[in-house]
Every structure is written in structure tokens, then in C-alpha cells.
Structure 1
Amino acid sequence: MRTPRQEPNVSDNKLTIWGRPNSVNVQKVLWCLAELDLAHERIDAGMQFGRNNEADYLAMNPNGRIPTLVDGDFVLWESNAIMRYLCLADGKGTPLYPVLPRHRAGVERWLDWTLSTVQPIERPLFWGLVRTPPAERDMRGLQKAADEAAAMWRILDAHLATRSYVEAESFTLADIALGAYARRWFGVEGVVKPELINLARWYHVVAQRPAFIRHIAPPLS
């Protein structure tokens, strides 16, 4: 019988993350790395740093987006896929990515939701209030964007009414992915936002984690 090839442990290689630290998708990965206590090097790429449209980067990630993970001879892009890989390849098992099928499926659901729902709705509000000069902002349009984002966050607020964390009653990748976006929701100013008590309570808890303070809490830019 052929013996399956043993893949190297993620800690056996030098991990490299390409991406700028103010990208929400890079922040998710950096938060995950810190929770797993995995050493890594980060190389600036994207926006003012460039590099992501250069041939060598496109050879790794043909989308020209960030982040990109390099683990020895293995290259992976898409932030949620990178977080899953880090949890699995660490080889130790971690509550961040539960083993029980129903708990893992629950985490997967929210990871998918961040990409299908949260990111498209959050992006116009964040870019309009943080990355657009004040004189160029369409405040009426931004209030509409805030109302749409509030309707989205109400879904998570209702879900959190009966639980401490997003899934499995313990801190998981779902809290990382959603916590990074919640930082933007609670951090933007200049629009009217509703009081979401359960969301705020959960956010206060995850925002106390050292990895959040290091990688997510710095001023929005």
C-alpha cells in the first residue's frame, strides 16, 4: 500500500505574507497568524506600495490582489482560504477552526457571508468616509450606504443575542473575519448609525484580544 506523502508542517518553512497592513483582508490573516503564534515576514504590496501588478507578483497571484501567502514552495491567495490553511497546516489542531462538522460548517457560513454580503456592502461606506477627501464626499449617498450596512449588521446583532461568539461558543475564524469588518463599521464617523447592543457587546470582547489591538485597532486609513 502506498503511504500518503507527509506535507510539511506550516512552522517548518518561512511564512511570507504579501500585502499592506491597512487592507482588511491582510489584517484578517495577520490576526490569524498572531492567534496561532506563527512567525512570518510581511512584504508591503498594494495601493501606494505597488508591486501587486508586477510580473513576479502576478506569477504568484494572477488576480493582482492582496494578500498572498508563500509557505516554502506553496503559494496561496484569498484571505479566508489562507486562514483555513494556516489552521490546518499548523498540525496541532485549533479551536479557531472547529473539528465537529456542524461547528465547522457554521464557521464556514460566516466566512462566506463576509465575502458575499459584508464586503460588498461595507466597501462603499469605508471608501467614502475614509479614503475620499471630505470635499469630494457625497454625504447623502454615504448615509444611504450606512443604512444598507446597518441592515446587514442587524443580522449578526440578532444572531449574537443568545451567544458570546459568532459560532461554537468559543473564538473562531468567524470572529476574526467579522471582527475585522466590524472595526470599520464602528470606526467610521460622519453618518447616523443605529445602536446594535449585541454587536457592540461582542465587538468589545474581541477588541480586547492582543492580536486585534496590534493588527486591527490602528487608525483607519
Structure 2
Amino acid sequence: MTLELYGHPFASFVWKPLIALYERGIPFTFKMIDPDHPENQVRIAALSPTGQFPALIDGDKEITQSNAVIEYLDLFHGHGMPMIPDDPRQALEARMMADVFDDYVHVQMQRIVGDALRSKEERDPRGVTDAHALMDRSYAWLELRLQGKQWAACGRFTIADCAAAPALFYGDWVHPMAERFPVLAAYRQRLLTRPSVARVVDEARPYRRFFPLGAPDRD
């Protein structure tokens, strides 16, 4: 039975399992979540506690949350290098770095974007300021952490890089790295040239007009 991944190509957390699927050559059917596919919207509402995506269906197995989906794929599908290393020490490093990108870059970026979608009366300037500050601190930490490294953890492409790709791609749109973080910016560029990442970027390209802060004319 073919795997089914529920999501939208422009949704940043959906990029993570998509990258893992492409990295490991796993066949799947993509189930688009949008107004043109109401049946998929109904399905995701049942799959996820909040109706958020991604979610993976594998027969009678239902998996939600992007990291859990990637771990599931490692366990049961594909023959390429797993996104989480077999060595428990390396696995710990990969998971830790994935959490850093998720919590301190990705989620903060989403706070800023989400605020832009609110009405003027509902906006949270302090929350946006705090999110920018945390992203800046995270960039500074990552700048040092990534010195001399090609990938984020374990000397190879892992779940940490699956997390880094959308976090830094959209993160640089809302909180640019500019020239202050050249190591981090170079890592972001390496991610964009990775075939699996380049593919998700291209698949999301038709939807850039929906970015509420205005997509930059690059990438």
C-alpha cells in the first residue's frame, strides 16, 4: 500500500518529511490540504489534534508531527541512510539540533508570520519583537556551532538538516542573516543546493504570493 502524506507544499513543517522522503527515495502519494480538496481537510482534522499538518498514513498506521513521521520512515520504509543515525550518541546530536532549528528558529519565524495574518487590532508587537530577538540569538549560537561543518550534525545529512532547511529558508525571509552570520548563511546555501531541498523549494514556488510579509525576489 502506498504511503500518503497530508500537507501543503508551501507549509514549512511539511518540508521536513518531504525532504526525508526524497532523500531516501520512498514512493508516496501527496494529499493536498486546500479548499479544492475538502475531503483531505476533513481527514487532517481527524488525524491531528489541531488539524495541523503534516500527517502520514501507512495502511492502518496514522502518524502526525514531522519528526515522528521522519522516524517512522526510518524504521519501516526506504533503503537509504536513515535520517536518524543508528549510533545512539549520534542520534542524540541529530535530534538535539533538529529541536534547536524547530523551537528557536522555525517556531519563532512562524510567530512573526502568524502575527502578520492577524487583524491590526489583534497583533502582538511585543511577541514579534521577542521572536526576532530569539532568532537573532539562535543565529549567533548556530554561527559558532556550524564552524567547520558541512551539515548540522554527525558529519552527514540527517533529520537536523531536514529541520534546518525550512527553518532557515523562511527564517532568512523574516529575519535576514545578512553579513553578520556568514557561516550560517553558507550552510543555508548548501541546503538549497541539496537536490531534495531544491525540489521542495521548487514545489512551493507557485504559492509564494501567499506569504503575508511578501516573498523576497531571491531563492
> What interval of TM-score do these two structures reach, taking the shorter chain for normalisation?
0.7 to 0.9
Equivalent residue, structure 1, for 2:2: 14
Q: After the TM superposition, which residues 73-112 of structure 1 pair with which residues of structure 2 at under 5 Å, given as runs?
A: 73-90=60-77, 92=79, 94-112=81-99
Structure 1 position 92, deviation (Å): 2.9
- RMSD value over aligned CA atoms? 3.1
Contact kept? 2:22, 2:196, Cα under 8 Å: yes
1:76-131 CA distance string (max 9 Å, x none): 101111011112212635153211111111011122333433333221223356x5
Aligned sequence identity (%): 24
Indicate the residue corresponding to 1:24 in structure 2.
12
Segments of 5+ residues of structure 2 without an aligned counterpart are: 212-219
Q: Which piece of structure 1 moves more, 137-146 or 91-100? A: 137-146
Of 139, 161, 184, which aligns to 2:147? 161
1:204 aligned onto 2:192: no
| Corresponding residue number in structure 2 for 1:68 | 55
TM-score (norm 2): 0.78
Matches within 5 A, 1:119-198: 119-128=106-115, 131=117, 142=128, 145-188=131-174, 195-198=180-183
- Structure 1 184/132 Cα, relative in aligned 2: closer, same or farther at 3 Å? farther
Q: Deviations over 1:31-90 (max 9, x none)?
A: 111111111111122688665763x44433343221110112211101111011112212
Structure 1 segments unaligned to the other structure (5+ residues) = 1-12
Q: How many residues align?
A: 205
Asked if structure 2 preserves the Cα contact closer than 8 Å seen for 1:95 and 1:171, the reply is no
Partner of 1:9: none
- Given that residues 52 and 66 in structure 1 are in contact (C-alpha distance below 8 angstroms), is that contact kept between their aligned partners in structure 2? no
Shift of 1:145: 3.7
